[in-house]
A = this chain, B = another copy of it.
């Protein structure tokens, strides 16, 4: 992970290798922070078009300009598919973007956020305060810096919604796409509890996407996929898995709504479950 200088134009560019054969680059106006933590490389830059941008281990995590596309779909689809979510668990998401969305729901009385790397939380608060706004200070937010795999094995809490907002499933995050993990999650979910998790791009991470959905299906009765646009994620076409154990819940049919959104609406919720045939064929 490195910022490169385009010598001809004296420009700084930050590049993600979306795959071995595809790269996305953002022009950088200022490098704000760079740090190697116990878990990963953190890089925070400012960019002229996408605003402040967080990169972890060479992968764009979010930009101020387009994070709403991802954060709103990760949070509001499971929250609006459930009848009255009160307790929510976010795994990962140390930048606070999902937390901010979850707390828009007044029925939520408690939101536990567990990120393994407290440096992501601290740096996000310092360098990207617009992402979380006041979410970290909300009295309903409970922030824990620890391994989520351990937390879900030990806790006695039961959650109505669980949102897995992890980095790509390699290294310390590899366990977050496995059936054992989903089994542990099921144990801390209410009977009608709903899980959402990013399941990568059908173009750049086809097998990871298929694996995540298949592992979910081993554990949950009711597993669906939905999708949306996220310009700075690989290929721009992003998928999400959603699961619960009650077959009577139609995950594609919102039963609640939320205000102050820029991507999510109840109509978008329903539309996002309509998959192009090339995509539904991949997860048959």
| A residues apposed to B, CB below 8 Å | 13, 15, 19-27, 47-50, 65-66, 68-69, 201, 203, 227, 229, 231, 235-237, 261-265, 267-268, 270-272, 274, 276-278
Contacts and interface: CB of A to CB of B under 8 A. Distances in A.
A25 to B, nearest CB: 4
A261 B275 CA distance: 12
Given A203-B231, A231-B237, A235-B231, A278 B22 contact: no
A270 B274 CA distance: 9
Contact of A235 (B15, B68, B236, B276): B236
**Quick one: copies of this chain in the complex?**
2
Nearest to A265: B277
A52 to B, nearest CB: 14
Contacts of A263: 276-278
A242 B48 CA distance: 32
A66 B65 CA distance: 25
B278 A262 contact: yes
Contacts of A229: 227, 229, 235-237
A20 B50 CA distance: 12
Given A21-B48, A236-B235, A267 B274 contact: yes
B19 A49 contact: yes
Contact of A23 (B21, B24, B48, B237): B24
18 contacts: A19-B49, A20-B27, A22-B24, A22-B26, A22-B27, A22-B49, A23-B24, A24-B25, A68-B278, A229-B235, A231-B235, A231-B236, A236-B236, A263-B277, A263-B278, A265-B277, A268-B276, A271-B271
A270 B272 CA distance: 11
A268 B267 CA distance: 13
Which 7 pairs between the two chains have the least Cβ-Cβ distance? A236-B236, A271-B271, A21-B49, A229-B237, A231-B235, A21-B27, A23-B25
